[in-house]
């Protein structure tokens, strides 16, 4: 992947979840030069297992072939609605990077507590694999999982799309859009 290219496009997908039945997902297509040239929304069930379908709905609604990478703000959203990034990569052929921001011992215990006996959910979580720390130029650390590209390229892409702070800009804008849309459709 040619990262210096100014027209490099990322689809950032983030959610707004406020304890309701549904969580709102926003997808923002942003070029590396910070130009936004696409927006789409979907909803997923809080506590469900349809997060992957919600993300694929955004990709399909945008109907773009010029996206170079999909950035996800977490792989577990909407009260343990677990995303399948490998399936997203397989169906779209776009590399997928899941970005998280905190050190964590993992969620297996929480999943067992809230969903006793739900081995499918636990297996889906385990398939996500290990997060790899990536230090941004300002010294802050993000934690990455990637599908369709190696961890070093995933780190370079996160750096390329992060202007300040530790949230890549497509995810920061997607989070703002999801919050605005979620509060609008209450």
Whether 2 maps to a domain, the answer reads no
Whether 32 maps to a domain, the answer reads yes
Token digits of residue 58: 């955004």
Print the domain residue range for 154.
Answer: 9-184
- Structurally, the chain folds into a number of domains equal to 1
CA 126 – CA 71 distance, rounded (Å): 20
CA 83 – CA 72 distance, rounded (Å): 9
Mean pLDDT of successive 10-residue stretches along the chain, which has 186 residues: 74 88 96 96 96 98 97 97 98 98 94 96 97 95 97 96 95 96 68
CATH assignment at residue 85:
3.30.2170.10
The reported pTM is 0.94
Whether 133 maps to a domain, the answer reads yes
Q: What is the pLDDT of residue 20?
A: 78
């Amino acid at each position: 992947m040619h990262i210096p290219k100014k027209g490099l496009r990322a689809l950032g997908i983030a959610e707004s979840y406020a304890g309701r039945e549904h969580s709102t997902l926003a997808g923002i297509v942003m070029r590396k030069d910070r130009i936004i040239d696409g927006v789409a929304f979907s909803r997923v069930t809080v506590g469900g297992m349809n997060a992957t379908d919600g993300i694929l709905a955004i990709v399909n609604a945008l109907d773009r072939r010029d996206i170079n990478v999909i950035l996800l703000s977490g792989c577990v959203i909407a009260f343990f609605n677990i995303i399948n990034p490998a399936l997203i990569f397989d169906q779209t052929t776009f590399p997928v990077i899941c970005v998280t921001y905190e050190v964590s011992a993992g969620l297996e215990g929480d999943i067992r507590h809230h969903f006793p006996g739900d081995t499918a959910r636990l297996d889906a979580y385990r398939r996500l694999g290990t997060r790899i720390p990536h230090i941004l130029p300002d010294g802050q650390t993000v934690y990455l999982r990637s599908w369709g590209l190696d961890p070093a390229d995933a780190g370079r892409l996160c750096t390329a799309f992060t202007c300040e702070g530790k949230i890549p800009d497509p995810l920061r804008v997607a989070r703002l859009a999801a919050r605005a849309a979620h509060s609008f459709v209450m």
